[in-house]
Structure 1
Amino acid sequence: MSEVPTRPAVGSTVTVVLRKAGRTKVRYPAVVAYDDGTHVVVRAPWAGAAARDFGFVRFEDGDVFTEHYWRDRWYAVKEVRSAGGALKGWYCDVTRPARVGHGTLVVEDLDLDLWVSADGATVLRLDEDEFADSGLAERDPLAAGAARRALDDLEVLARTGGGFGGLLAGA
């Protein structure tokens, strides 16, 4: 018998929990914007205590993240906008599929990330060294393979003319 996914009500608040290597990396409240049972979308302000400059983008107070998670995909796509509404780009995390229930949305970060600038001209694969050092390939080769495929899939989506538009449609 398959498990029926828990679907939080649109407009309700959930706590997003990002776990890494068995521990909670960050947790923050977000408002549910959409949930069809597979794809869930939440909106949240920048959850960092201070601005963070990555060199290719700066996340700061007032930025709004519209975060797309899937219960059946190994990634999350986060659209990032400034306080004034200008699109900064998309930050994509490679994660295990999201688990949603009891007021939480939990994902396990698998180290690999992708950044796509608002104009689509810059596509950066990030943290591949951290992924290699994590030992996931030895501990869980199936998960490591799924993570690598997810990063490749995200990059293809970002580099093709359609970008993330089709992926995020409907939400």
Structure 2
Amino acid sequence: MSANSADAAARVDVALVKSGRVKIRYPAELLHDDGTRITVRAPWAGDGVRDFGFVRFEPGDVFTEYYWRDRWYAVKEVHTGQGTLKGWYCDITRPAALSGGELVVEDLDLDLWRSADGGTVLRLDEDEFAASGLAARDPHAAEAAVRALDALELLARGDGFGNLLA
């Protein structure tokens, strides 16, 4: 295998789908795939700075993203460009699918944030989740999403994500 084809094999496009449409697509470096968990690294893919009030995502930030084929969430470890840990942003999603160099993840509106020091844990976008109508359209998915958020919150308020991401 040539260096170019090795480089190509280590790249994936992450496609975040919301409400049946691709919300954002970005290239990422494939770090690991054990058949269940997929780990990628990518720079902040948003336009400019996104200030949530509790954290700012900005150009230069680096995201190490963990996706599972059998779990209803993704965990994104966020560092500054200089390597300082900001925290973990967690998306509640359907299980991820990797095929042909594309990692597809369906966002289910619920999110969780844990600061680097563990002092801040926030459940996010519960109003968007309720307004999405998922509970009426797909009660199984809605229940799985809420269970996933509860499980992540327990980890975040406890010892954090170290064991989960090891």
How would you bin the TM-score normalised by the shorter chain? over 0.9
CA pair 52-23 structure 1, distance change in 2 beyond 3 A? same
CA pair 92-56 structure 1, distance change in 2 beyond 3 A? same
What residue number does 1:70 align with? 68
What residue number does 1:94 align with? 92
What residue number does 1:110 align with? 108
CA distance in 2, matches of 1:63, 1:79: 10
Residue 49 of structure 1 deviates from its aligned partner by 1.5
Q: Tell me how large the CA RMSD over aligned residues is.
A: 1.5
CA distance in 2, matches of 1:45, 1:11: 18
What residue number does 2:136 align with? 138
Matches within 5 A, 1:10-29: 12-29=10-27
User: What is the TM-score when the length of structure 1 is the normalising length?
Assistant: 0.92
What are the Cα deviations for residues 120-148 of structure 1, in whole angstroms up to 9, with x where unaligned? Answer: 01000000000000000000000000000
Residue 11 of structure 1 deviates from its aligned partner by 6.3
More helix per residue:
2
What residue number does 2:52 align with? 54
Q: Alignment partner for residue 41 of structure 2, among 27, 40, 43?
A: 43
What residue number does 1:165 align with? 162
User: What is the TM-score when the length of structure 2 is the normalising length?
Assistant: 0.95
CA distance in 2, matches of 1:147, 1:118: 24
Q: Which runs of 4+ in 1 moved over 6 A?
A: none
- Which ranges in structure 2 are unaligned for 5 or more consecutive residues? 1-6
Residue 116 of structure 1 deviates from its aligned partner by 0.3
Task: Kindly indicate whether the alpha-carbon contact (under 8 Å) linking 1:13 and 1:32 is maintained by their aligned counterparts in 2.
Answer: yes
Task: Kindly indicate whether the alpha-carbon contact (under 8 Å) linking 1:79 and 1:91 is maintained by their aligned counterparts in 2.
Answer: yes
**Identity across matched positions, percent:** 71
One-letter amino acid of the counterpart of residue 164, structure 1? F
| Partner SS state of residue 31, structure 2 | strand
Task: Kindly indicate whether the alpha-carbon contact (under 8 Å) linking 1:10 and 1:34 is maintained by their aligned counterparts in 2.
Answer: no
One-letter amino acid of the counterpart of residue 17, structure 2? R
Count matched residues.
161
